[in-house]
Structures are given as structure tokens and as C-alpha cells.
Amino acid sequence: MSRFNQNADASHMLLRDSEWLLPVYARFPVVMDRGEGVYLFDTSGNRYLDMMAGLGVNALGHAHPRLVAASNDQVTKIVHLSPQYCTPYAGELAERLCALSGMSGVFYSTGGSEAVEGALKLARAFAQQNFSSKKHRVVSLLGSYHGRTLGSLSVTGQAKYRDDFGPDLPGADFVTREDLAELQAAVSDDTCCILLETVLGEGGVYELSKEYLAEARRLAYKHNALLILDEIQCGLGRTGKWFAYEHAGITPDVLILGKPLGGGVPLSALLVSSELFHALGLGKHGSTLGGSPLACRLGLAFLDAVEEEGLLARVTETGAYLKQRLVELAADNDVVEEARGLGLIQALELTVPGRPIAEAALQKGVLLNFVQGNVKRFHPSFLLEKQHIDTMVEVVRPLLQAASSESKQMEATLATR
């Protein structure tokens, strides 16, 4: 029997969504009602272990008491006002983010793509102010993901996402991850920035090596280009350190943050080094909804929770256990190519499509997320416990075994033809 809620109301809502929402997402036939910690509940009361965390946004799980208290209080005061006015929260959050990262100034926007857009504009502006408009090229990685707006899409190294939307923004130079020679050849005096995800997320979860990041840092200095790290997915504690670049011992000129920053309310941030503080001058950039009092207050509550509840250490410890269990799954199952990643950004790469596995896991009460069709990406809440990982493994193991038998059967059938 199906576990999905199939009451008349849920069926009506699913049908209404399919009639009125553009078919951009591969959606699942379930209507979620509420969340609590690492669990979601559908409108029939079925419970699901959320290993997806809203694509990495819900780092504090669902309905975290600090976020609930801060938002309940703030919505009765001011939710939004023009960014031209000061409230107690935007400045404090910026000061704390800069203290944590060593950066010197912050610009807020709403989502990741918008922040990447801001970073590209800043890199161009800085190059034009100090060098020439010829210095506009952007070096980024094949397989990277930086967003869906035209600028961020143009520097996303996956042609499948850019198809249909050309012409791209000019000046994107894509290079192969970890190929130092290709990077050295691509960066020139015409490069205004090198844009890297410190851990590639949507592209399949690949951590950039210390050597690669150090070389990018060196080349950026050499050619007066900015090193921009897009840590929208891997930053803010997900690797067990506040920022993933800390593992490599380098610092960027520009750091982009998003996803969990606003505690679930849209908030992204562009953090810049001191020499870039004035690169986006008065009236040169903006975001009506960026840095709202509600989002920034939740941002402060998020930082408080990570600090006061010891979540960085917890991510490191739970991440190590997750890695151990994923490595076991990889050893036991021939449809698993590799287990990789760190902290709570990890992946299992399969040799079979992921969608049927995600659908079957949902039936068994576990939300899984696949990228690139066959890479199971784990970026759960920082509140995840070892027992949750064990539950997930219990659900996933037989699904992988079934996928393995199916693919062997298929191979056998093809061999007899």
C-alpha cells in the first residue's frame, strides 16, 4: 500500500499545482504539512526523515525554537522596509559574518543567483575602475553551478542548463576541475575574476584540493583578478568549519553565502575584502528585498544556534559517521561507484538512475535528493543524529540491492539477444 497521502484534499492540491505551476521541477506526489527537527509530516500525518533539508537551506531542521521565537517576535515589529533605513539586525549580522570570515563588508540580496550576479558586477566594476573594460573575463569550472539568472548561468559550467537561453554573457572561460595547467593557461590579465565553488555541490559533490585552491589564489594575485568563492551550498558550517576554504588555508577576495543564512527566509550575502568596499558605489547596485529585518534577525539566530549549540563540532562528528556508513554502502553494492564529500555535504555516485530510488525511499519515509541524475547528494540538517543515518542506510541498502539485481537482469537479457 502506498504511504503517500492520497486523501481527497491532497489529490486536489497535487492536481491544482500541476495545473497552475510551471512544470519546472520534477516533483513528488506528496503534500507536506509541517516539519519538526529532521522530520517532515504530510497532510495525512505520515512522517518522513528529511535528508534533503530544503536543498541545504534547513540547516537547523524544521521549526527550530530559536528561529520560531525570533520570527514570531519580528513579524509583529517590522518584516520589511527599504534598505535605505537602519534596523538593529543587518549591521550586526554583517559585523559577525565579517568577524568569522575575515572579510570587511557585506551586501545582502535574496537568493544565491542574485548574490552571484552581484559578485560578477562587482568584479567587472573593480576591473574597470582600476584597469580597463577589456578585463572582464571570468574563469570558472566545468561542472560548476552558480545559479539560473543570465549572468550566473553564463558562468555555470554545465551546457545543459544554458541550452535554450543563449547568447550567454560574453567572457566565460571554463576549465577542468583540478587541472592546474588548464587553469594557468586560462587565467590572464583579461580575467576579472576566478569563480569557484570550494566544494562543488550540484555538480556532484567534489571538494577542491588545497593545491588547486592555492594555485587559483596565486594566479588571481598574479593577474590582478579577484578570487571569488561561491560557498552558497558548502559554507556556513556545512563542512564542519564556518567556511569550506578554511580547510585549504586560503582566503578569497569575495565570498558568497546563501541557503541557510536567513533561517529559511530568503537571504544571501556578498562579503568583500577591504579594498573592494567601495567598488559598488552609491546607487550602483541594489535589492529591494535583500537584507530585510526579518531575514537578518533570523540570520543572527542561525549564527547563535551554530555557536551556542556546538553545531560545527557536531557536523564534523556526524559527517564522519555518515562517511563511514556511505563507504560501507559503496563496498557492499556494485551500483555504487563512489562515496565522497565531507561534513554534511556528501554523495554516493551510482551507476543507475536515482529517481526510482528517491521515489521508493519516499514511500518508505525518507526524503532523498539526487543531482546529475545518479548522484545521491546528502546535505541534511546539522541536527542529524547517528540513529537517523542508520535509518536512512536501512532504507537505502535494499533499494540499492534491488537496483543492482535489476541492472544485472537487464544485462543478462541484453546478452541473450
Q: Which residues bind ligand PLP (CB under 6 A)?
A: 111-113, 116, 145-147, 197, 201-202, 230, 232-233, 258
Quote the least distance from Cβ 109 to ligand PLP, whole Å. Answer: 9
Quote the least distance from Cβ 132 to ligand PLP, whole Å. Answer: 28
CA distance 5 to 12: 11
Q: For residues 290 and 336, which CB has a smaller minimum distance to ligand PLP in the complex?
A: 290
Amino acid letter, 354: G
Quote the least distance from Cβ 394 to ligand PLP, whole Å. Answer: 29
Angle at which helices 293-308 and 90-101 cross, to 10° = 40
Quote the least distance from Cβ 375 to ligand PLP, whole Å. Answer: 14
Quote the least distance from Cβ 145 to ligand PLP, whole Å. Answer: 5
| Closest alpha carbon to 281 in 118, 131, 125 | 125
Angle at which helices 355-363 and 386-416 cross, to 10° = 130
Q: For residues 217 and 377, which CB has a smaller minimum distance to ligand PLP in the complex?
A: 377
Grid coordinates of 162: 544554458
In the complex, residue closest to ligand PLP by CB: 112
Strand partners, 141: 175
Find out whether 128 and 114 touch, Cβ atoms under 8 Å: no
Quote the least distance from Cβ 385 to ligand PLP, whole Å. Answer: 25
Quote the least distance from Cβ 266 to ligand PLP, whole Å. Answer: 8
Q: For residues 137 and 146, which CB has a smaller minimum distance to ligand PLP in the complex?
A: 146
CA distance 118 to 235: 18
- CA distances from residue 101 to 118, 207, 215, 239 in whole angstroms, order as listed: 19, 19, 20, 15
CA distance 121 to 116: 9
Residue at grid coordinates 556578498: 270
Q: For residues 4 and 145, which CB has a smaller minimum distance to ligand PLP in the complex?
A: 145
Q: For residues 54 and 399, which CB has a smaller minimum distance to ligand PLP in the complex?
A: 54
Q: For residues 254 and 335, which CB has a smaller minimum distance to ligand PLP in the complex?
A: 254
Residues contacting 102, CB < 8 A, separation 6+: 251
Quote the least distance from Cβ 386 to ligand PLP, whole Å. Answer: 26
The neighbour count for residue 314, using CB atoms within 10 Å, is 18
Q: For residues 201 and 260, which CB has a smaller minimum distance to ligand PLP in the complex?
A: 201
Q: For residues 135 and 259, which CB has a smaller minimum distance to ligand PLP in the complex?
A: 259
Helix (H, G, I), strand (E, B) or coil at 191: strand
Which helix (H) or strand (E) segment is 338 a member of?
Answer: strand 336-342
Grid coordinates of 108: 545582502
